[in-house]
Homo-oligomer: A and B are copies of this chain.
Amino acid sequence: MKKNTLYNPINSFFDFTDLELNPPGKLIVRNLSDMALMYQDIEMVDKILENDDPMIYRFYNVKVPETKGHLQHCISMIFPGKIGKEYYMTKGHFHEIKDTGEVYLTLRGKGKMVMQTAEGDVDIKNMKEGTLTYVPPYWAHRSINTGKQPLVLFAAFRGDAGHNYGIIEEKGMKKIIVEEDGKPVIKNNPRYID
């Protein structure tokens, strides 16, 4: 090993009270306006955006080289709320290098991980504190907060995995999660075209 390839260990501390990582690394924030077209209820999106642009989720990415020997890791939190009947969720992504997995550990809150392959396989897992959710290679994935508190997740993935948001931004996912009678229900996405 060449000395100049050595990367030093990093400690980051997540504070469960203020929900911040210190040092914050790279903080990415998604407000409703960043994903307005991803929700079903377009009229409700427009109505909300007239007065406000609520934060849907944010994540703190520890700064690590984007190479295949390293592991990117982050703390993400999806806030509680709905757009119409549909729960707050992440944009969802494939990895650019599709043959790379990702592992999630739920630290607080409750929700669902909605997953889908390019061939149309679907899998949905429930998440609560203590749940390890393994998203294997080739599965696109989106986290959804179905609870009343922030859904706080730790995630790790290969340094060079990359994110591909485009396909889901264009097509959505086959399944959506909506609230009916106060409970989360899995529905077919009426706008999804195979």
* CB pair A126 B11 closer than 8 Å: yes
Interface check A38, CB cutoff 8 A: no
Interface check A8, CB cutoff 8 A: yes
Interface check A189, CB cutoff 8 A: no
With a CB–CB cut-off of 8 A, which chain B residues contact A68?
68, 158
Partner of A103, one of B7, B73, B138: B73
For window 47-89 of chain A, which residues contact chain B by CB distance below 8 Å?
A: 62, 64, 68-71, 73, 75
Interface check A139, CB cutoff 8 A: yes
**Smallest CB gap from A6: residue in B:** B138
With a CB–CB cut-off of 8 A, which chain B residues contact A154?
105, 132, 154
Chain B nearest CB: distance from A99 CB in Å? 4
**With A and B bound together, what is the CA distance between A9 and B122 in angstroms?**
10
**With A and B bound together, what is the CA distance between A62 and B133 in angstroms?**
10
With a CB–CB cut-off of 8 A, which chain B residues contact A102?
71
For window 86-133 of chain A, which residues contact chain B by CB distance below 8 Å?
A: 97-103, 105, 113, 115, 117-119, 121, 123, 125-127, 129-133
* CB pair B115 A9 closer than 8 Å: yes
**Smallest CB gap from A68: residue in B:** B68
Interface check A36, CB cutoff 8 A: no
Known: A16-B130, A21-B132. 15 other contacts (CB 8 A): A5-B137, A7-B137, A9-B123, A9-B134, A11-B127, A13-B130, A14-B131, A64-B134, A69-B158, A70-B136, A71-B101, A71-B103, A71-B134, A73-B103, A103-B156
